[in-house]
Structures are given as structure tokens and as C-alpha cells.
């Protein structure tokens, strides 16, 4: 019997698709998609980059670490990921658990904080791979909705208080919700009015955009106007 000749390129594409699904999709990319992808990428970056920087500072890292976490995982997932819609970025809940696990062990030592963070990230990745191989996703079904909602609300309050000092234009160093609120109230007379004005205007634009222009890239517009306001403040 005659056997059909195998196509080396087809076999190579199948191998790439098995180990690097994202790269296999990139090889089939169409130029017509570029315009929409650029708009989507700029809109996501306008939100993801400041968020990643804030989360890095929440743990105690320098802002540059937030940029690394916002960019490098995206590049890796673009090559090895299987979903074309998933956004890979630092998560508030993950950062809160990370900080609660690592900060007490680091005890204020920045070198130890970096070493422990790398070790925890590697171990977490190995555990995720093992959980995927053994199909342990059903474990998440045992977490009750009230627990998840309460936990996420607590994380949101923690992040809000961790960043509120930047809106008023002064630094804050307390740990915990109650000490943070007390420090915020005590430092209100130190408010830097131009910084506070830029923060209020940005928040007002985002809220107004959600109400009147729900389909407009309001967060991107707010970031652009906030950058202009920051440049003006520095110039003054």
C-alpha cells in the first residue's frame, strides 16, 4: 500500500502547537488584526502597569519590580498560554496572601524579601503545574461565596488604604487598617493640593465615563490626563 508523504512543516507546526500554543497562533497572525490589537494593548497597559506598580509597593518592592511582573509574564503567556482572552497580571488577592506570607519572614530585610519572593514564586508555579496534572481544580468549589466575597473586600480595603496617601501627596508607613486610618487622619493637614486635585479629577473622569460613555476607553483617557496633570505639577 502507498503511504501519504508527511509534510515536515505540518509536523513542525503540530509540535510547536503542543509545547507553545501561543507561538503557533502567532505564526498564523493576520495584519488586519493589528489595529484592534494595538488599541486593546494600549488600553490594557494603561490600567495594568499602574496596578502592577501599586501591588509591588504593597508588598514592599521597588516600583520597577511591578513593571517586570506586568510585562514578563505577559510575554511568557503569549508564547506558552492556551487562551487568547486571558489577561495575565498581578492580582490583588494573590499579592495580599504573598505579603502575609513573606513580609514576616523577611523582617524588613530587602535582600531576604527578594530571595523569599523568588522561592515562593517558584514553589507556587510547581504546585500549580502539579495541580493541573492531577486535575485538582475542583478544590476551589469547596470555598464558599461569603468567604471569597469577604476576603476580596478586605483586600480591596487594604489596597485602597495603601495607596490613598499618594492621592493626598504624602507618604504613609503604618501597617494594618486601623493604624493606617489614624495616620491618614493625622496627616490630612499635610495634603498637597495640586496632587489631590489631579487625583480627584482622575477619579471623577472615570466615574463619569462609566455612566455617560460606557464604551469609551475612559481609564486610558484618565491616565493620559493624569500624566498631563503630573507633568504640570512637576513643572510648577
Residue 169 pLDDT > 60: yes
pLDDT of residue 180: 85
pLDDT of residue 7: 59
pLDDT of residue 229: 65
Per-residue confidence band for 13, with pLDDT thresholds at 50, 70 and 90: low
Q: Which residues contact 49 (CB under 8 A, 6 or more apart)?
A: 66, 67, 70
pLDDT of residue 17: 67
Angstrom distance (rounded) from CA 4 to CA 90: 49
Show me where the domains of the chain are located: 19-90, 92-142
Average pLDDT, the chain: 79
Angstrom distance (rounded) from CA 101 to CA 95: 10
Distances (CA, A) of 100 to 25, 52, 226, 231: 38, 18, 32, 35
Distances (CA, A) of 147 to 73, 142, 153, 178, 205: 29, 10, 10, 22, 33
Q: Of 95-99, 161-165, 204-208, 223-227, give the lowest mean pLDDT range.
A: 223-227
Q: Of 6-15, 120-129, 144-153, give the lowest mean pLDDT range.
A: 6-15
Nearest CA to 38 out of 217, 208, 181 is that of 217
User: Are 157 and 177 a contacting pair, CB within 8 Å?
Assistant: yes
3-state secondary structure 115-177: HHHHHHHHHHHHHHHHHHHCCCHHHHHHCCHHHHHHHHHHHHHHHHHHHHHHHHCCCCCCCCH
User: Are 66 and 57 a contacting pair, CB within 8 Å?
Assistant: yes
Per-residue confidence band for 2, with pLDDT thresholds at 50, 70 and 90: very low
Amino acid at each position: 500500500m502507498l503511504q501519504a508523504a508527511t509534510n515536515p512543516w505540518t509536523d513542525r507546526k503540530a509540535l510547536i502547537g503542543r509545547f507553545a500554543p501561543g507561538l503557533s497562533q502567532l505564526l498564523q497572525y493576520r495584519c488586519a488584526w493589528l489595529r484592534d490589537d494595538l488599541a486593546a494593548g494600549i488600553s490594557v497597559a494603561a490600567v495594568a502597569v499602574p496596578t502592577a506598580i501599586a501591588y509591588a509597593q504593597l508588598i514592599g518592592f521597588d516600583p520597577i519590580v511591578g513593571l517586570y511582573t506586568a510585562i514578563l509574564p505577559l510575554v511568557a503567556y503569549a508564547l506558552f498560554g492556551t487562551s487568547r482572552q486571558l489577561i495575565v497580571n498581578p492580582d490583588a488577592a494573590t499579592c495580599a496572601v504573598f505579603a502575609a506570607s513573606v513580609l514576616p519572614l523577611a523582617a524588613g530585610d530587602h535582600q531576604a524579601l527578594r530571595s523569599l519572593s523568588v522561592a515562593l514564586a517558584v514553589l507556587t508555579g510547581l504546585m500549580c503545574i502539579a495541580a493541573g496534572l492531577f486535575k485538582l481544580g475542583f478544590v476551589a468549589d469547596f470555598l464558599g461565596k461569603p468567604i471569597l466575597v469577604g476576603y476580596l473586600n478586605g483586600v480591596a480595603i487594604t489596597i485602597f488604604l495603601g495607596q490613598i496617601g499618594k492621592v493626598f501627596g504624602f507618604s504613609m508607613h503604618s501597617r494594618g487598617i486601623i493604624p493606617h486610618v489614624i495616620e491618614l487622619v493625622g496627616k490630612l493637614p499635610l495634603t498637597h493640593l495640586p496632587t489631590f486635585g489631579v487625583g480627584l479629577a482622575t477619579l471623577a473622569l472615570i466615574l463619569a465615563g462609566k455612566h455617560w460613555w460606557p464604551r469609551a476607553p475612559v481609564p486610558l483617557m484618565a491616565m493620559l490626563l493624569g500624566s498631563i496633570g503630573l507633568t504640570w505639577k512637576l513643572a510648577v
